[in-house]
Amino acid sequence: MAIKFQYNKTALQALDKQLKVRERALPTLKNKESALRVEVKKAKDKAASLEEEYNKQIQSFENMARLWGEFDQSLLSISDVELSSKKIAGVFTPVLGEIQFEINNENLFNQPVWFPDGVAIIKKVAEIAIQREVFLRKMELLDFARKKTTQKVNLYEKVQIPGFQDAIRKIKRFLEDQENLSKAAQKIVKDRQEKQRQEEVEV
């Protein structure tokens, strides 16, 4: 990214100001990036362990597949999932509250004796699946923010800060050269005036 600038003191001050803003922001951005990286890993690990638990639960009921075929699906439904949000390193992430189930007790009385246990099993599996989804969403949100932060760190560190430093160096060099030329010109004029005065004195 080429930084546009003019060779004057106003441009120098403006660039210096922008450089300082980025140099001050960089450590904060780096801290945010590493905090997000840690949180992404935590959410990913939790989602993976819930996935494992979910699969274990499903596998443990495979030997009862015939019974599940008889199970009345209308006995249990999810009536509400409470979600709130929590800020992690500046990112709003979902937090799972209570999962509310509705049990159709009227239908439960005429059912086989194992149905109440079936309801408890399905509740547990549903809770694990919902928790997993929440942690996957949390991981996605945090990872998106981490990628954005990494891009900004790279932009500041590898492009903008070196670009501003280079532009400032060029302006300073130009202004120094201009000052040196001005001093040299003044010296030449002074020397000429001195020579003229001496010639006038000699005449």
Q: For 80-94, how does the pLDDT look when each residue is reduced to its tens digit (9 = 90+)?
A: 999 999 998 889 999
Please tell me the predicted confidence (pLDDT) of residue 112.
67
Across the chain, the runs of DSSP E, i.e. the strands, are 76-88, 91-103
Q: What is the tens place of the pLDDT at every residue in 20-54?
A: 999 999 999 999 999 999 999 999 999 999 999 99
Q: Which residues pair with 77 in a beta bridge?
A: 102
Q: Which two tokens stand for residue 163?
A: 């670009």
Rounded to two decimals, the pTM is 0.74
Tokens 């639960």 belong to: 57
Q: Is the pLDDT of residue 203 over 70?
A: no
Please state which of the ranges 116-125, 126-135, 139-148 shows the lowest mean pLDDT: 116-125
Q: Which two tokens stand for residue 153?
A: 């760190």
In the chain, the domains with their CATH numbers are 9-193 (1.10.287.3240)
Q: Which of 132, 100, 104, 136 is nearest to 118 (CA)?
A: 104
Q: What is the tens place of the pLDDT at every residue in 173-188?
A: 999 988 888 888 888 8
Helix (H, G, I), strand (E, B) or coil at 94: strand
